[in-house]
A and B are shown apart, each in its own frame.
Chain A
Amino acid sequence: MAVPLTCPQTDPAPALFSVRGLRLSFPDSAHKPLFAPAPRIEVLKGLDLDLPKGQITGIVGESGSGKSTLGRVLVRLMRPDAGQVLLNGQDISTLNEAALRPLRRNLQMIFQDPMSSLNPRHKVWRIVAAPLARYECGSAPQIGLAERRDQALRALERVGLDPGFGERYPHELSGGQRQRVGIARAIALEPEFILADEIVSGLDVSSQAQVLSLLKSLAQEMNLTIAFISHDLSVIRHLCDNVIVLNRGEILENGSVEQVFSAPQSDITRLLLDAIPLPELDDKWFD
Chain B
Amino acid sequence: MADVSLQTTPRARSGRRNLRLWLPLAWISTLVLAAVLAPLIAPHDPLYQDLFLERLPPFFMAGTEPGYWLGTDSLGRDVLSRVIYGTRIALCVSLIAATATCLVGSTLGLLAGFFGGWWDRVISRLIEIWMAFPPVLFAVLLVAVMGTGLTSVIVAIALIDWTRFARVIRAETMVQAQMDYVDSAQIGGARRLTTLVSEILPNVLPSIVALLMLEMGIAVIVEAILSFVNLSLSSDVATWGSMIAEGRNAIHFAWWVLLFPLIALFLTVLSFSQLGEGLKQRFDPVLQ
A residues neighboring B (CB under 8 Å): 75, 77, 97, 101, 104-105, 107-109, 111-113, 116-122, 130-131, 134-135, 169, 171, 185, 189
Tell me whether B145 is interfacial, beta carbon within 8 Å.
Answer: no
Chain A residue at smallest Cβ distance from B201 = A121
Chain A residue at smallest Cβ distance from B183 = A77
CB pair A117–B203 under 8 Å, yes or no, is no
Instruction: Say which residue of B184, B192, B199, B203 sits within 8 Å of A111 (CB atoms).
Output: B184
Measured between C-beta atoms, what is the minimum distance from B187 to chain A in Å? 5
CB pair B188–A116 under 8 Å, yes or no, is no
Output the residue of B181, B203, B205 with the most chain A CB within 10 A.
Answer: B181
CB pair B180–A107 under 8 Å, yes or no, is no
Measured between C-beta atoms, what is the minimum distance from A4 to chain B in Å? 28
Output the residue of B179, B187, B205, B286 with the most chain A CB within 10 A.
Answer: B187
Q: A107-B187, A109-B183, A134-B189 are in contact. List 9 more A-B contacts (CB 8 A).
A: A101-B189, A105-B189, A111-B183, A113-B180, A117-B179, A119-B199, A131-B190, A134-B188, A185-B188
Can you give 30 contacting A-B residue pairs, CB < 8 Å? Answer: A75-B187, A77-B183, A77-B187, A97-B186, A104-B187, A105-B189, A108-B187, A109-B183, A109-B184, A111-B180, A111-B183, A116-B180, A117-B180, A117-B183, A120-B285, A120-B286, A121-B202, A121-B203, A121-B205, A130-B185, A130-B188, A131-B187, A131-B188, A134-B188, A134-B189, A169-B285, A171-B285, A171-B286, A185-B188, A189-B188
Measured between C-beta atoms, what is the minimum distance from A64 to chain B in Å? 19
CB pair A120–B189 under 8 Å, yes or no, is no
Measured between C-beta atoms, what is the minimum distance from A96 to chain B in Å? 12
Cα–Cα distance between A135 and B189 once the two chains are bound (Å): 8
Using known A-B contacts A169-B286, A171-B286, determine if residue A119 contacts B181 with beta carbons closer than 8 Å.
yes
- A-side contacts of B202, CB under 8 Å: 119, 121-122
Measured between C-beta atoms, what is the minimum distance from B282 to chain A in Å? 15
- A-side contacts of B186, CB under 8 Å: 77, 97, 104
Cα–Cα distance between A16 and B214 once the two chains are bound (Å): 55
- B-side contacts of A77, CB under 8 Å: 183, 186-187
- B-side contacts of A120, CB under 8 Å: 203, 285-286
Cα–Cα distance between A109 and B190 once the two chains are bound (Å): 14
Cα–Cα distance between A118 and B187 once the two chains are bound (Å): 13
Cα–Cα distance between A174 and B189 once the two chains are bound (Å): 27
Using known A-B contacts A105-B189, A135-B189, determine if residue A117 contacts B285 with beta carbons closer than 8 Å.
no
Chain A residue at smallest Cβ distance from B181 = A119
Measured between C-beta atoms, what is the minimum distance from A279 to chain B in Å? 34
Cα–Cα distance between A112 and B198 once the two chains are bound (Å): 22
CB pair A116–B285 under 8 Å, yes or no, is no
Instruction: Say which residue of B183, B190, B203, B286 sits within 8 Å of A130 (CB atoms).
Output: B190
Chain B residue at smallest Cβ distance from A191 = B187
- B-side contacts of A185, CB under 8 Å: 184, 188
Chain B residue at smallest Cβ distance from A182 = B184
CB pair A118–B181 under 8 Å, yes or no, is yes
Instruction: Say which residue of A108, A119, A131 sits within 8 Å of B203 (CB atoms).
Output: A119
Chain B residue at smallest Cβ distance from A77 = B183
Cα–Cα distance between A40 and B285 once the two chains are bound (Å): 43
Cα–Cα distance between A119 and B176 once the two chains are bound (Å): 10
Chain B residues 169-201 with CB under 8 Å of chain A are 179-181, 183-190, 192, 198-199
Measured between C-beta atoms, what is the minimum distance from B142 to chain A in Å? 37
- A-side contacts of B198, CB under 8 Å: 130
Measured between C-beta atoms, what is the minimum distance from A67 to chain B in Å? 16
Cα–Cα distance between A104 and B186 once the two chains are bound (Å): 8
Cα–Cα distance between A111 and B183 once the two chains are bound (Å): 9
Cα–Cα distance between A101 and B286 once the two chains are bound (Å): 31
Cα–Cα distance between A78 and B190 once the two chains are bound (Å): 16
- A-side contacts of B285, CB under 8 Å: 120-121, 169, 171
CB pair B181–A116 under 8 Å, yes or no, is yes
Measured between C-beta atoms, what is the minimum distance from A125 to chain B in Å? 14
Output the residue of B189, B192, B285 with the most chain A CB within 10 A.
Answer: B189
CB pair B187–A109 under 8 Å, yes or no, is yes
- B-side contacts of A117, CB under 8 Å: 179-181, 183-184
- A-side contacts of B199, CB under 8 Å: 119, 122
Cα–Cα distance between A121 and B283 once the two chains are bound (Å): 11
Question: What 5 pairs between A and B have smallest CB-CB spacing?
Answer: A131-B188, A117-B180, A121-B202, A116-B180, A119-B181
- A-side contacts of B181, CB under 8 Å: 116-119
